[in-house]
Amino acid sequence: MAQDDHSGTEVAAADSSHAAPEFAGSTGTAVIPHDGFENPGFEPHRPRVTDEDASRQKRAQRTVYTLFYLSILGSVWAIAAYMLFPIESNDVGAVRLNNMFVGLGATLALLGIGFGAVHWGKSLMTSPESIDIRHPIGGTEATKAGAVEVFREADEESGFSRRSVIRNSLIGALLVFPLPAVVLFRGLAPQDQMPVELLSHTMWAKGTRLALDPSGVPIKASDITVGSAFHVIPEGLNDLEHGRLEEKAKAAVLLMRLEPSELNQAPDRESWSYDGIVAYSKICTHVGCPVALYEQHTHHLLCPCHQSQFDVANHCEVIFGPAKRPLPQLPIAVDDEGYLIAQSDFTEPVGPSFWERS
Amino acid sequence: MSTTSTRSTALEKRSFTAAASDYINDRTGLAVAIKGLGRKAFPDHWSFLLGEVALFSFIVILVSGTFLTFFFQASMAEVHYDGSYVPLKGVEMSVAMASTLDISFDIRGGLFVRQMHHWAALLFVAAIGLHMLRVFFTGAFRKPREINWVFGFILFILAMAEGFTGYSLPDDLLSGNGLRIIDGMVKGMPIIGTWTSFLLFGGEFPGTDIVGRLYALHILLLPALIVALIAIHVGYVFIHKHTQFAGPGREPTNSVGPPVLPIYAAKAGGFMFIIWGVISLIAALFTINPIWNYGPYDPSPVSAGTQPDWYIGFADGALRLIPPGWEFVWLDRTWSFNILVPLIVIGGFIVTVLLYPFIEAWIKGDKREHHIADRPRNAPTRTAIGAAGVTFYAGLWAAASSDILSTHFSLTIEGVTHFLQAAVIIGPFIAYFITKRVCIALQKKDREIVLHGYESGRIVKLPGGEFIEVHQPLDEYERWRLVSYENYAPLMIRPNARGKITAGQRARAGLSRWFFEDRIAPVTKGELESSHSTHH
């Protein structure tokens, strides 16, 4: 009963009730049962209630025009609301009312038209179902042959295939001519900047005071209580004329004070902290979000974007999440006046990894 | 008969409409198109509306977006905000952010249009997604529609690109962090990453160029591409004529439905206004993207629970699910597999979906045109593959809210992440097997109904004392809906003309077996007859 066709390239001898001859191609592995059911043809047309009952028809008619009138009402209301609910200066409530009443008017205007038209179409318009005949998308064999013939003639007359030197040189020229346009896009980046150089340095330098973000007030070591955390920027950042955000995107730092006994410091980094106060880059080493959430009792930092977690007690090494590298540590000290200062810039690039970083 | 004589005799009884259409036709020749398309049949099914939802919400996006361009200024120059929103007065922010605030607080109806634009964009992408699922699960991507599937899929990608470039424009804290993530991902790409980031941002992140550049893409290049592709996409719907579900009188060679004029025009036109009305209602009542709560972009602060717009979620979720440590230094260069792997996996997923119609056609070897939409149950393996894909996507999507899931349900973030890591890998397999079994069970139920009819609930006592439930047989129209589907057998390997079995043939036979080994054939006339004879 089942007829298997084992290759897509063979044309099946498909006598299919599903496909008219003009649609026949290979049926592939489709099984065409010889005693399948035949399409019974269209069901008898079923009239709607509005076709048979004059009063229902009247009612549908009333519904449709009422909806259209409601729509007009909505439009008028939206215009009126524009004027009746002005946005008084400095009042968010007025904005809310303006938004709501203009919006509700427009909604009524649109839904009135929409539901009215749909109801009209469904209950009153009388056209029966249309039946279109489908033709193969590829057209007839003659059309296909005609198209092939057009290309053959064009080739013949132009000598596109025959004159291969002309053709190949044209193809070469066409391939090369967009290249200058591509090169022009080099100008998108400033010509005098070295990305790797820029990414490797921040505003921090020997002696730069640590200041509060966003006020820029320098921080005294004595103001930092155990367990507290501060968002820090380099002093002078707010005075930058240009590039303030770019510098901040690299220089943002988190300052935390732990009990010195809780810090497991590497011997070579013991001098980087001051009395349990440590400073780490705030820019996540994954894709650069600010690592802004500090959980005091576990000493963990959490990046709210992709949930990388860093352990402040262990040089901010990654304990969870997609980041790989620890947050870079900023070596700090205290100056004569008791203010926290940087010993130097970060000793490695901050923020997300990049190709040339090693 | 000459044209002039027909016109002069007809003129007296001609209506205004006829005269007007004559006037226009004599100058445009449009009558050919009207006559050809005006009564064109449009098959009806609720699921065919999903594409229309996308189209109609796109119109809202175009119109509301044009309004917004009149007031929005795509500049990252710093100003001190001096608008009506008191809490931000005097705060330093970019002109882009300030002008967005002005649209929201100082232009009457501006907030309404802005919210319509954003809500319509969310609906646009959602409708495209659902429309693609409809096309996938009904097999409406089969020949001759494979290429239109590709166009539609590119539209989906472009719609997401429009969405991302759009919500990055206000230069608020949320969108700035979104761009920061993009910057981090770009930098993580081998060889070209660092330079590409500098080209994109015009120097170091965030720079002062990105909003202007995204704006050019958002209002010029991407919309132009989308409009052109929509024209092609919808044009092909006309050329191919819409698919239809199997039903009495519906043949692969016809297309049955209400005519374009007047019923389809009234229903689709009305539906367009309903979609606009719904978007307007949501925009009137529900706030979206309240940038005044986020504040201007600053690289230092971030709020917990940051979320991108919903359609970017799956990509963000993929980033979140990478376990620690997937980054290496090798040959003195940094290889960020924690970024590359999500990109490759998502890219692979997208390419697979894009190519699926061609893969399925190759496995089946079926070269015929298909215009009858499958019921999902009648293509169990495809439906199961679709369910697996949806589960995979849903897992990534859920991962984008892993922090919110853990705070709302008081779970640990580690637990949620580990669960979703497993769900993304195992979930698709579970979904695949369950869906396939459900499809086959439904097919069996259909067979049962065709062979024995519906249970009528009427119990009859026979003269011999036996009780039976009377089954009500199907009429031939209902039966046709249940039996008219294609059934494929697995491909059997046969040596080719040179007596060889190629590796390609083997692969194809294997895939074919996977697709069609478990299958339920439609009931044939012979089966129905023999089932009747055993019953009486």
Residue A246 maps to which CATH number?
A: 2.102.10.10
Query: Which residues form the domain of A211?
Result: 197-342
Query: Residues 6 or more apart from B504 whose CB is under 8 A from it?
Result: none
> Given the DSSP bridges, would you call strands A309-311 and A300-302 parallel, antiparallel or unpaired?
antiparallel
Spatial separation of the C-alpha atoms in residues A163 and A158, rounded to whole Å:
9
Q: Which residues of chain B have pLDDT under 70?
A: 1-13, 534-536
Nearest CA in chain A to B258: A129
B460 CA to chain A: closest CA distance, Å?
Answer: 31
**B24 CA to centre of own chain:** 38
Is residue A30 a part of any domain in this protein? no
CB-CB neighbours of B483 under 10 Å:
22
Are A173 and A308 in the same domain?
no
Are A210 and A328 in the same domain?
yes
Please give the residue that has the higher pLDDT: either B317 or A10. B317
Give residue B17's identity as a one-letter amino acid code.
T
Are A165 and A215 in the same domain?
no
Spatial separation of the C-alpha atoms in residues B216 and B210, rounded to whole Å:
10
| Facing A117 at nearest CB: one of B189, B270, B524 | B270
Are A117 and A149 in the same domain?
no
Are A85 and A160 in the same domain?
no
Are A201 and A338 in the same domain?
yes
Are A203 and A324 in the same domain?
yes
Which of A9-13, A19-23, A137-141, B10-14 shows the lowest mean pLDDT across its residues?
A9-13
Q: How many domains does chain A have?
A: 3
Nearest CA in chain B to A124: B263
Are A212 and A150 in the same domain?
no
User: Pick from A116, A151, A186: which residue ends a domain?
Assistant: A186
B492: helix, strand or coil: coil
Beta bridge partners of A294: A301
Is residue A9 a part of any domain in this protein? no
Is residue A352 a part of any domain in this protein? no
C-alpha pair distances (Å), A315 with each of A16, B165, B325: 74, 37, 16
Preceding omega of B262 cis (within 30 degrees of 0): yes
Query: Does B525 contact chain A (CB < 8 Å)?
Result: yes
- The pLDDT value given to residue B305: 78
Q: What tens digit of pLDDT does each residue of A54-88 get?
A: 999 999 999 999 999 999 999 999 999 999 999 88
pLDDT grade for A19, boundaries at 50, 70 and 90: very low
pLDDT of A23 > 80? The answer is: no
Is residue A17 a part of any domain in this protein? no
- The pLDDT value given to residue B22: 86
Spatial separation of the C-alpha atoms in residues B376 and B364, rounded to whole Å:
17
- The pLDDT value given to residue B468: 87
Say how many CA atoms lie within 13 Å of A334 toward its Cβ. Answer: 16
The closest of B90, B94, B99 to B78, measured between CA atoms, is B94
Are A107 and A152 in the same domain?
no
The closest of A42, A52, A275 to B250, measured between CA atoms, is A42
Are A229 and A303 in the same domain?
yes
Are A254 and A281 in the same domain?
yes
Is residue A6 a part of any domain in this protein? no
Report the run of H or E that residue A116 belongs to, with start and end: helix A92-123
Is residue A23 a part of any domain in this protein? no
pLDDT of A149 > 90? The answer is: yes
| Facing A2 at nearest CB: one of B366, B477, B489 | B489
Is residue A278 a part of any domain in this protein? yes
Is residue A54 a part of any domain in this protein? yes
Q: What tens digit of pLDDT does each residue of A204-236 get?
A: 999 999 999 989 999 999 999 999 999 999 999
User: Pick from A127, A152, A168: which residue ends a domain?
Assistant: A127
- The pLDDT value given to residue B70: 97
User: Pick from A103, A127, A151: which residue ends a domain?
Assistant: A127
Contact residues on chain B for A106, CB-CB shorter than 8 A: 112, 277, 280, 284
CB A310 within 8 A of CB A169: no
For B:322-351, CB contacts with A below 8 A are: 322-327, 329, 332-334, 336, 338-339
ipTM of the predicted assembly exceeds 0.85: yes
Are A220 and A99 in the same domain?
no
The closest of A74, A82, A106, A110 to B285, measured between CA atoms, is A106
- The pLDDT value given to residue B455: 87
Contact residues on chain A for B367, CB-CB shorter than 8 A: 8, 25-28
Decide if B270 and A116 are in contact by the 8 Å CB cutoff. Answer: yes
For B:211-250, CB contacts with A below 8 A are: 239-241, 248-250
Beta bridge partners of A279: A255, A330
B140 CA to chain A: closest CA distance, Å?
Answer: 15
